[in-house]
Amino acid sequence: MQPSLALRLLTHFILGFCSLVVLLPLLWVLRTSFADKVVAYQLPPEIFFTPTLENYRVILSEMNFGTFFLNSLVISLVSTLLAVVIGALAAYAIDRYQAGGKAMPVIILATQMMPPIVLVIPFFLIFKDIGLTDSHLGLIITYLAFNLPYVVWLLMSFMKRVPRELDEAALIDGCTPFSAFIRIIVPALLPGIGAATILSFVLSWNEFLFALMLSGNESKTLPVAISSLVTQQGTAIGAVSAATILAMLPMAVLYFAMRRFLVSGLNMGAVKG
Amino acid sequence: MTRATPPSSRRDGFSVGFYKLLFMAPTILVLALVVAGPLLYSLWLSLHEYIITYGMGDLIWFENYTLMMSDEFAGVSWVTMKLTVIVVVLEFLIAFGLALLLNQPWLKMRNFYLVVLMLPILMTPVAVALMFRLMFNPNLGIINWVLAQVGIPEQGWFGDPDLALATVVFVDIWNETSLMLIMLYAGLKSLPQDPVEAARIDGASSWQILWHVTLPMLKPVILVTLLIRMITALKSYDLIYMLTQGGPGKVTETISFYAYRLGFRFLDIGQAAAVSFILLAAVVALTVLLLRIMKEN
């Protein structure tokens, strides 16, 4: 049943308007990141100008953003890898063997309700005492602990869709629980592992408060480096824009690689109905 | 119903209990060492006089918590409450409206809208904040220029005590609405279509169907979405730090930022820890309350 033309136009108007609100700021920053100093400050703004990579050169070579990018990448990837491996084992034990009883999933999730400010205070002191301040390892451990609950919960929900008969058959055939996990569960769980990897990576990549308090020159992550641009270079619009784009880059790549998957995942209910 | 426990393995002679422990140990170890341990340590800190430069002082029990009675604490609590309620309500209304529109079966370009509207969810909050700081800059920003073209006078945005909170709310909405949209849209998609069809055949209008059929069925999803968003809103810190640092004056200072300022600007770890625990208590209380409401439904 088609509604009236006016109603359809109104719907597209609202959705189009919201899409513009989302897109315009992003396009504006993208544009500014390619502008030279004169163009970046010009009002009324110049729409057509010769783009320059100067801003990117400045932040990458003079401000060391390449290193910060790498720091972010290493810390996010390693903590994600650990969280997924450890989390998959826990999700398996909880779903198949009721490890820790009924309360276990709730306890694990409860650790994630905590406001980060509650933990950053003791972390700051403990890290100073044991010498983990300004190290990659310190942030890796921190993010591992923060992402683990999400990973366990996500993988538990995927685990429920893997038929029990599969791994029970493997056990009866003489597999140990561990080899059943490796041979049966992990392959069946791959979509869930993919989703958990992305979630954990995104959370680590975007984390700010702990990186701000616990990192220094050696381990500074991209969000912290960007935040320091505000005070140092309050008005270096071009450099700030380039840094902003740089921080969004892996997320954008991830997003467009995953776009089809995300949208089809969301629309799945429609196919069913 | 009890499920048969999987047979214990025979090949290696270890019991199922051993494997349970083996699989759970890393998770428990990490959460105990990195979350539970520091949490207890922080509770201990909050009971002490502790200035960073002097080290840990006397055990003063709950004296740090008397800060709760101060006007300053009342102020930041009020800001936190205002900000949380405003962003959760507005983001919910926008997200729900958009989810309903996106769920219309005749809608064209649905995937385009979905892809665009989901975009902000992946953005680094720090980068988002910076982006809007540039655009809301009173002298150099594009927003004041655009408004000037239609005759609206120059605004101070983050620097204007009357506008700062509203501007923060706008950035928060831009950044966070996608998450609610995804949850609500997924919830709508997973609803059974039969009751809706039945109501339509019985001659119910679209509004009646929405109010009497869709909404009641979607209630659990709505409650979970609100719960999650409320907790993350209470926790949030990045945007305030990047956008306003609590200013101008204290009009955008939340409890999280206040605790940060006490601890790392005034170096008073004891009071900072106490304030953070008050926030934690509020989050826990709210969660328990909402879970109870959910159970009753």
Q: What is the mean pLDDT of residues B168-186?
A: 92
- pLDDT for the residue B102: 92
Residue A118's closest CA among B240, B37, B114?
Answer: B37
Q: What is the mean pLDDT of residues A163-169?
A: 85
- pLDDT for the residue A41: 75
Give the minimum alpha-carbon distance from B27 to chain A in angstroms, rounded to a whole number: 6
Give the minimum alpha-carbon distance from B162 to chain A in angstroms, rounded to a whole number: 23
What are the CA-CA distances from residue A270 to residues A77, B104, B238 (Å)? 34, 11, 37
- pLDDT for the residue A68: 92
Pick A104 or A140 by higher pLDDT. Answer: A140
Give the minimum alpha-carbon distance from B252 to chain A in angstroms, rounded to a whole number: 17
* Phi-psi label, residue B208: left if phi above 0, alpha if psi -120 to 50, beta otherwise: alpha
DSSP per-residue string spanning A71-121: HHHHHHHHHHHHHHHHHHHHHHHHHHH-TTTTHHHHHHHHTTTS-HHHHHH
- pLDDT for the residue B70: 86
Which residues in chain A have Cβ-Cβ distances shorter than 8 Å to B126?
Answer: 206, 208, 223, 226-227, 247
Residue B166's closest CA among B80, B257, B252, B91?
Answer: B252
Please judge whether B264 and A167 are an interchain contact, meaning their C-beta atoms are less than 8 angstroms apart: no
Span A25-40, pLDDT tens digits: 999 889 888 988 777 7
Residue B48 pairs with which residues in a beta bridge?
A: B59
Which residues in chain B have Cβ-Cβ distances shorter than 8 Å to A3?
Answer: 104, 106
Best of B19, B121, B193, B289 to mutate (most A CBs within 10 Å, chain A): B19
- Nearest-by-CA chain A residue for B16: A177
Please judge whether B273 and A121 are an interchain contact, meaning their C-beta atoms are less than 8 angstroms apart: yes
* Mean pLDDT over each residue of chain A, to the nearest integer: 85
Span A200-213, pLDDT tens digits: 998 899 999 999 98
- Nearest-by-CA chain A residue for B279: A115
What are the CA-CA distances from residue A167 to residues A4, A160, A181, A188 (Å)? 54, 12, 8, 10
Residue B56 pairs with which residues in a beta bridge?
A: B50
Query: How many beta carbons lie within 10 A of that of residue A228, not counting itself?
Result: 15
Is residue A265 very low, low, confident or very high in pLDDT (cuts 50, 70, 90)?
Answer: low
Q: What is the mean pLDDT of residues A66-95?
A: 93
- Nearest-by-CA chain B residue for A257: B115
Please judge whether B231 and A97 are an interchain contact, meaning their C-beta atoms are less than 8 angstroms apart: no
- Nearest-by-CA chain B residue for A241: B131
CATH superfamily of B64-296: MetI-like (1.10.3720.10)
- pLDDT for the residue B9: 44
Q: Measure CB to CB from residue B235 to each of A116, A141, A177 and give the nearest one.
A: A116
Span B112-126, pLDDT tens digits: 998 899 888 878 888
Residue A118's closest CA among B45, B75, B62?
Answer: B45
- pLDDT for the residue B12: 65
- pLDDT for the residue B193: 82
Span A197-252, pLDDT tens digits: 888 998 899 999 999 989 888 889 999 998 888 765 456 788 888 988 888 888 88
Residue A271 has pLDDT above 50, yes or no: no
Q: What is the mean pLDDT of residues B220-237?
A: 86
Domain boundaries defined on chain B? 64-296
Residue B28's closest CA among A140, A195, A94, A77?
Answer: A94
Q: Measure CB to CB from residue A230 to each of B42, B130, B193 and give the nearest one.
A: B130
Q: Which helix (H) or strand (E) holds A124?
A: helix A116-130
Chain B segment 126-185 residues within 8 A of A by beta carbon are 126-127, 130-135, 140, 142, 145, 174, 182, 185
Which residues in chain A have Cβ-Cβ distances shorter than 8 Å to B110?
Answer: 267
- Cβ neighbors of A93 (< 8 A, separation 6 or more) are A99, A100, B19, B20, B23, B24
Q: Which helix (H) or strand (E) holds B207?
A: helix B206-209
Does the predicted interface ipTM exceed a cut of 0.90? no
Residue B243 has pLDDT above 80, yes or no: yes
Please name each of the domains of chain A with its CATH number: 65-272 (1.10.3720.10)
Distance CA A95, CA A164 (A): 10
